[in-house]
A and B are shown apart, each in its own frame.
Chain A
């Protein structure tokens, strides 16, 4: 049978009513657990995997795909409405999405996230089906030095998300970098900045940090405004649906997000959040409305959400073609596949085509289910914002801590939540941007480890960093991105740039 026939066959079996029901249950359960801040798709899948064991192979695969997509999408809803990104990949979504929700445009924000996720998931799943073998070759060319160059590029481009003061943006970034040092050094096993506290040995959990910085910090900040702050947010201003203008601004962002997210997800050390950072920076650069960024630009939701979903499908490329689990989620999926008698690896497509195509068909169906489940609920979700402030914020705190306790029931973790929540509050008072802290926390260790691995392999020869063509190109782009704005600013007094920068909050 040809590739296409296998896919059609898979789709036909996945579209049986009973299987559709399993997909719906999977998506629902995945969303329920996934909405908890601090519980990302990996933990969601790990927790719910046993539920699927009760079903036959096809049914369990479909429900599993549903849980996976549900867990991933669940985080976006709460990020947009409540500004509580619970996992690294939805932090960027919260930046613009929550601003939109505050301005009564939560409906379009949720819709562009859902449709963008669907579009990206669809394209990326098809790409997984047809071009996976080529993508994986590209991914394997990436070694430590290429990753290091990619991280440098990421640092340079995401600095556009740093807000209107270079000093405060850089300070936030360095706070993140300093915090990223805490814990066991990956490469030598020595403790850094853990002061003999065992709970610090594994470093500071990005999810805990995200929940503290966004959910707790924001709650404290709003509490401190006291009676001055408006008692209720106006949940809907204009249409609850996307307008023609919203569509026009979203579709290109979805496609760009997909193109950025998919290959980065496919790289063994890429990671979904890097795709979302790059997508956000790209949208901000290309937008005709740069002044809206930081105040709720729809492209800033559409692009990163698409990138997030595309990179999730990208993660499956090395997993299915090589048996490489490249993320926590993928490692758990690998365990799940083994349960269904699927041994991912280079021979999988040849030895087990039915199951592989069944899985890909399941992903497509689950993706569709997600849209079916979420679009009608947009109107209902937005109503969440009309809950009176005391109950809304008390509820946010319950949910934020629930996620953290569920992931790791430790008093120490709750203490970190409080301490970093207070730090985030003080940072908000002094107008320090929050996102760079998380960027530093994520990218810092990646860049450091890849640099040291590259130098260790070369036994201390620094020139290897530039002698790989891919690394050289990436570093060159990074250099241009860094120097060009400086040159422009000196030439034309940087009218455009200052205007762009001034739009941040």
Chain B
């Protein structure tokens, strides 16, 4: 009974306004991951900014989001209150898992946040620049072991794109997939692999502490506060962003889509959202409307090409 009282005391602290559900956001991942955090941050901000009275988050984990998107597309058809969080990882997962439901079966609304990929080596490494790494890669692709996240994910795609841009056969890259950011980072710090590739946030504190050397970043232009050349500047034509987006259900009307897009724009421009981006270290890469649709189509096409070239998709 004591538990009960404490819990109800806390229920007051969490404060759930008792109105009808305005939005229900599906995070196609387990609680705690990036998509889940995005969904839950959206939930807080939408409520705090009074854009929506009540927002619920639902987790449907599995297979890089493909299970979530399949369920979302079939169950929420025409529902103007349903939102889905997703991201670039989903693009790759849909291809490698041969998912029958794709991003075409939902209504993408906007890109919210993003992170760029960086290439690092341990500070004790004799590789001093991205040029050194490319030279080593060209001489013997197998001798460069890349540590990063799961096979077919953004990091793997990044390594493949770099090899391709350097004129090296992407199937020849020696990519070592680790199950989590932490494990990959440990292997890089311990000099178990030659180089590491992952989003900047994963390596940030190590770079600042001087235990990792930052070679290059995958953004289109240099970023304030990050002291590294872009891959483009280094002669490798690669721009890659690991973004997160929000989509609406399929089969909604134009007006309904517009209403959702307006709400999401309010969210992305709100002070609370910006505050949250800052504390979480997420970059604001908000993009909506036709510009986003175009970027999405481009990303899907280039991802499919590179995954085929790496040999992960037939």
Residues of A within 8 A of B (CB): 25, 28-29, 32, 42-43, 45-47, 50-51, 54, 139-144, 184-189, 191, 198-199, 201-202, 268-269, 318, 322-328, 330-332, 335, 338-339, 341, 343-348, 407-410, 449, 453, 456-457, 459
Q: How many of B's residues come within 8 Å of A, CB to CB?
A: 61
Nearest to A328 among chain B residues (CB) is B32
Known contacts A268-B186, A322-B189, A345-B206: does B176 contact A408 (CB below 8 Å)?
no
Residue B271 at the chain A interface, CB threshold 8 Å: no
Residue from B9, B10, B176 in contact with A453 in the complex, judged by beta carbons closer than 8 Å: B176
CA distance A239 to B206 in the complex (A): 54
Give the A-binding residues of B (Cβ under 8 A). 2-3, 6-7, 9-10, 13-14, 30-33, 36-37, 40, 44, 58-63, 66-67, 70, 96-97, 99, 142-143, 145, 150-152, 156, 174, 176-183, 185-187, 189-190, 192-193, 204-206, 208-209, 211, 279-281, 312
In the complex, are the beta carbons of B151 and A335 less than 8 A apart?
no
Chain B nearest CB: distance from A366 CB in Å?
15
What CA separation (Å) do A38 and B116 show in the bound complex?
35
What is the CB-to-nearest-CB distance from A180 to chain B, in angstroms, rounded to a whole number?
14
* Of B63, B176, B189, the contact of A456 (CB 8 Å cutoff): B176
Which among A185, A189, A325, A409 has the greatest number of chain B C-beta atoms within 10 A? A189
Other contacts beyond A189-B177, A268-B183, A331-B181: 4, CB < 8 A: A184-B151, A188-B151, A198-B63, A201-B62
Check B182–A330 contact: CB distance below 8 A.
Answer: yes
Chain A contacts for B14, CB-based, 8 A: 50-51, 54
**A269–B6 CB distance below 8 A:** no
Query: B63 → chain A, closest Cβ, in Å?
Result: 4
Contacts of A326 in B (CB 8 A): 180, 182-183, 186
Min CB distance B96 to A, Å, is: 5
Chain A's closest residue to B189 (CB) is A140
The answer for the CA separation of A326 and B179 in the assembled complex, in Å, is 10
The distance from the CB of A246 to the nearest CB of chain B, in whole angstroms, is 28
Q: When the two chains form their complex, are residues B31 and A46 in contact, meaning their CB atoms are under 8 A apart?
A: yes
B211 lies within 8 A of A346 (CB): yes
Instruction: Give the residue of A189, A202, A341, A345 whose beta carbon is less than 8 angstroms from that of B208.
Output: A345
**How far is it, in angstroms, between the C-alpha of A115 and the C-alpha of B182 when the chains are bound?**
31
Q: Which residues of B contact A50 (CB under 8 A)?
A: 14, 40, 44
Chain B residues with CB under 8 Å of A408's CB are 30, 59-62
Bound-state CA distance A410–B71 (Å) is: 10
Min Cβ gap A138→B in Å is 11
A502: min CB distance to chain B, Å: 39
Known contacts: A51-B10, A198-B63, A201-B62. The answer to whether A331 contacts B187 by CB under 8 A is no
Known A-B contacts A268-B182, A322-B206, A326-B182; the reply to A201 vs B150 at CB < 8 A is no
Q: In the complex, A497 Cα to B58 Cα: how many Å?
A: 53
Contact of B36 among A25, A46, A144, A449 (CB under 8 A): A46
Residues of B near A268 (CB, < 8 A) are 182-183, 185-187
In Å, the complex CA distance between A185 and B96 comes to 12
Q: How far is the CB of A313 from chain B (nearest CB, A)?
A: 16
Which of B37, B62, B99, B181 counts the most chain A CB atoms within 10 A?
A: B62
Least CB distance from B30 to A in Å reads 7
Closest residue on chain A to residue B140 by CB atoms: A459
Q: Are A459 and B67 in contact (CB under 8 A)?
A: no
A39 to chain B, nearest CB (A): 10
Bound form: Cα–Cα A346–B31 in Å: 27
What CA separation (Å) do A29 and B279 show in the bound complex?
26
Mind listing 18 A-B residue pairs with CB under 8 Å? A51-B10, A51-B13, A54-B13, A143-B187, A186-B177, A189-B96, A189-B312, A198-B66, A198-B67, A198-B70, A323-B206, A324-B182, A331-B180, A331-B181, A407-B30, A456-B174, A457-B174, A457-B192
Q: Which residues of A contact B176 (CB under 8 A)?
A: 144, 187, 453, 456-457
Residue among B3, B66, B182, B187 with the highest chain A CB neighbour number at 10 A: B182
Q: A453 contacts which chain B residues (CB < 8 A)?
A: 176, 178
The 8 Å CB contact of B179, one of A43, A51, A409, A449, is A449
Among B174, B190, B208, B279, find the residue whose CB has the most chain A CB atoms closer than 10 A. B190
Return B277 CB to nearest CB of chain A, in Å: 12
Contact A345 B152 (CB under 8 A): no
Contacts of A343 in B (CB 8 A): 204-205
Give chain B residues whose Cβ lies under 8 Å from the Cβ of A410: 60
Contact B211 A324 (CB under 8 A): no
B180 pairs with A457, CB closer than 8 A: no
Q: Are B180 and A186 in contact, with the CB atoms below 8 A?
A: no
Q: Which of A323, A327, A330, A339 contacts B205 (CB 8 A)?
A: A323
A325 and B174 contacting across the interface, CB-CB below 8 Å: no
Q: Which of B2, B151, B192 is within 8 Å of A143, CB to CB?
A: B192
CB pair A28–B63 under 8 Å, yes or no, is: no
| Chain B residues positioned under 8 Å from A325 (CB to CB) | 180-182
Closest Cβ of chain A to B1, distance in Å, is 12
Interchain nearest-CB distance for A414 vs B (Å): 14
Residue of chain A at shortest CB distance from B70 = A198
Residue B190 contacts which of A143, A323, A346 (CB distance < 8 angstroms)? A143
B152 touches A189 (CB 8 A): yes
Give the interface centre of B14, B32, B192, B280 by most chain A CB atoms within 10 Å.
B32
- Pick the residue among A43, A199, A324 that contacts B30 (CB under 8 A): A43
State A346–B3 Cα separation when bound (angstroms): 39
Q: Say whether B67 contacts A456, CB under 8 Å.
A: no
Would you give the shortest CB distance from B161 to chain A, in whole angstroms? 16
Identify B151's interface contact among A185, A199, A269, CB under 8 A.
A185
Provide the bound-state CA to CA distance between A449 and B182, in Å: 16
10 closest pairs, A vs B, by CB? Answer: A345-B205, A189-B151, A268-B186, A46-B31, A143-B192, A346-B209, A201-B63, A46-B32, A189-B152, A140-B190
